[in-house]
Structure 1
């Protein structure tokens, strides 16, 4: 019975993944001609792409720093740009790129992009489920983890200017696909895990020696 339950659960998760991928592909289908070249830039297919990305972001933030718009004005301008992109991109894609034949290779690349977006969304959902379970099973640990995390963020935010902190966060978020594609992010993540494991194991070794003595 347990094996049957595991099989049915796995089959359900697989079906949910397939339907989720279909939904993402359907929602992004009108942007697919733009997503492929954008994905190449984000994944650093050419060595000059990281410098171009950082240069564009730096230019935008330099304009914001120079003009010093209010928060409401900034969000309004972002909304205008997003609305224009949402209107113009499908229109341009249908008129200019509509006659181009969509190949199997491009379809596979588009599906990989949708898969990564779906995986990122699932990671966020898993984090939410983990926090919810921790709140139910270990409420004290949950409260301590949240308060400690927000306290560190508040302390770090008080040391850096808001615009500079936003700039660093945006640059990091834009560079993440390239860092991940070239294995740099995995390398630093592994190094951080090794350091944490060493810090955890050192007190245990000292405690075991004191018990033997």
Structure 2
């Protein structure tokens, strides 16, 4: 019964998300193909665009509040212009069943990722009730490590690294690069001590 409720709730979330992202359909399909590295140039485009964005932030040298304001303005502009451009470039009759299926897969993966993240956060905070010592050890250790790293490395550079890794992760997973590397490490000859 619980599985049916979760599945029904997930389907409702997917339907809501599909309605919410209706104007972004074409852009999401393009973004999916870039994030999953369907072309050879996709990783370079990701790294190049993130590098350009952070270079611009670094060159503008704005304070934190102005940076948030500029990022907010940019996101509002993108949220306004993308649906307009998609509607003008792409006629509704060209939207095929395959496009709709891919769009639904994207929405399902967004909902699944959101639900997994929410579950992980709730599970972490449930440690506060079930195992307070473990909760405080983990949270204090993580925050102290984060503060220590942030004191030595420029914050913009840290955000650049984090953004690049997050945007490259779907392609790395899709291509199975981590599994290939782990297989290569396991296949490496083991060194034996000679006496």
- The interval holding the TM-score normalised by the smaller chain is 0.7 to 0.9
Report what 2:190 is aligned to. Answer: none
Structure 2: runs of 5+ lacking an equivalent: 187-195
TM-score, normalization by structure 2: 0.87
Q: Which residue, 144, 162, 167 being the options, matches 1:169?
A: 162
TM-score, normalization by structure 1: 0.80
Map 1:74-113 to 2 at 5 A.
74-113=67-106
Map 1:112-151 to 2 at 5 A.
112-151=105-144
Structure 1 residue 94: deviation in Å? Answer: 2.2
Question: Is the contact between residue 176 and residue 185 of structure 1 (CA under 8 Å) also seen in structure 2?
Answer: no
3-state SS in 2 of match to 1:115: helix
Structure 1 residue 186: deviation in Å? Answer: 5.4
3-state SS in 1 of match to 2:94: coil
Change (3 A) 1:159 1:186: farther
CA offsets, 1:111-131, max 9 Å, x none? 111111111111121112212
Off by >3 Å, runs of 4+ in structure 1? 185-188
CA offsets, 1:99-146, max 9 Å, x none? 442111111111111111111111121112212321111111111111
Partners of 1:80 and 1:13 in 2: CA distance: 37
* Number of aligned residues: 184
Structure 1: runs of 5+ lacking an equivalent: 1-7, 195-213
Structure 1 residue 53: deviation in Å? Answer: 1.4
CA offsets, 1:153-184, max 9 Å, x none? 11222221111101101111111111121122
Structure 1 residue 59: deviation in Å? Answer: 1.6
Report what 2:15 is aligned to. Answer: 22
CA offsets, 1:8-31, max 9 Å, x none? 111111111111111111111110
Structure 1 residue 98: deviation in Å? Answer: 3.1
